[in-house]
């Protein structure tokens, strides 16, 4: 995996709402390269998510129920397949892809009210993108880690100074 491929992946992972990331994840799921996601392909990816849920002691939703939810979410032109065009029209393509690829985000979506997610998707032009949120969170973590490291280093320097020059105590 080259650096450019890693950056492409990271941006696509953190913001699945952009047309470019929708194309990226669609290509990942289109196993036979026919330009459509069949129910077989969806089930193939969902099985891995079910294994992860089982490992977390969470009972997964049966595939048939998940499939109904995803078809209701995407509203494809043809019920037997989902095309790239269908996903680009869908305002919640990120939820669709998280269902099949990212168990943590999938569980986050499951906890949210579906109406609020749709409302948020409609108002997304006013908000910062998922990528911008991710970058800001990572920056905050980096700043906090550096501050903690600086405090630790300052404390270590003070301790070393004290060890080299013990404070003299005067008794009066």
Give the pLDDT confidence of 154-168 residue by residue, as tens digits: 666 555 555 555 555
* 138 and 109 fall within a common domain: no
- For the chain, how big is the Rg over CA atoms in Å? 24
For the entire predicted model, the pTM comes to: 0.67
* 83 and 116 fall within a common domain: yes
Q: How many structural domains comprise the chain?
A: 2
* 121 and 150 fall within a common domain: no
* 109 and 138 fall within a common domain: no
With respect to residue 153, please indicate whether it lies within any of the assigned structural domains.
yes
The pLDDT tens digits for 30-44 are: 999 999 999 999 999
* Closest among 60, 129, 127, 66 to 94, alpha carbons compared: 129
With respect to residue 172, please indicate whether it lies within any of the assigned structural domains.
no
pLDDT band, very low/low/confident/very high, at 172 (cuts 50, 70, 90): very low
* 102 and 69 fall within a common domain: yes
Paired tokens of 129: 């993108």
Residue 86: give the domain boundaries. Answer: 3-127
* 116 and 149 fall within a common domain: no
* 117 and 141 fall within a common domain: no
With respect to residue 169, please indicate whether it lies within any of the assigned structural domains.
no
Paired tokens of 53: 């849920």
* 26 and 105 fall within a common domain: yes
- Measured CA to CA, the distance from residue 5 to residue 30 in angstroms comes to 19
With respect to residue 171, please indicate whether it lies within any of the assigned structural domains.
no
Paired tokens of 97: 């892809």
**What is the CB-side half-sphere exposure of residue 25 using CA atoms within 13 A?**
27
- Measured CA to CA, the distance from residue 82 to residue 101 in angstroms comes to 16
* 38 and 114 fall within a common domain: yes
The pLDDT tens digits for 112-130 are: 766 555 556 565 555 777 7
* 39 and 116 fall within a common domain: yes
The single residue listed with the structure tokens 């209701």 is 72
Measured N-to-C along each axis, helices 63-74 and 39-55 cross at an angle, to the nearest 10 degrees, of 120
């Amino acid at each position: 995996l080259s650096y450019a491929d890693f950056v492409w992946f990271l941006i696509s992972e953190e913001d699945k709402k952009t047309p470019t990331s929708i194309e990226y994840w669609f290509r990942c799921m289109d196993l036979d390269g026919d330009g459509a996601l069949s129910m077989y392909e969806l089930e193939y990816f969902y099985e891995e998510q079910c294994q992860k849920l089982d490992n977390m002691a969470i009972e997964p939703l049966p595939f048939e129920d998940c499939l109904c939810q995803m078809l209701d979410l995407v509203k494809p032109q043809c019920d037997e397949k989902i095309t790239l065009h269908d996903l680009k029209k869908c305002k919640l393509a990120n939820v669709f892809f998280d269902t099949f690829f990212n168990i943590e985000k999938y569980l986050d979506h499951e906890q949210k009210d579906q109406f609020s997610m749709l409302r948020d998707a409609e108002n997304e032009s006013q908000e910062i993108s998922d990528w911008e949120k991710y970058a800001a969170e990572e920056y905050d973590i980096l700043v906090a880690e550096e501050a903690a490291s600086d405090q630790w280093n300052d404390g270590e320097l003070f301790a070393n100074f004290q060890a080299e020059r013990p404070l003299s105590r005067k008794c009066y």
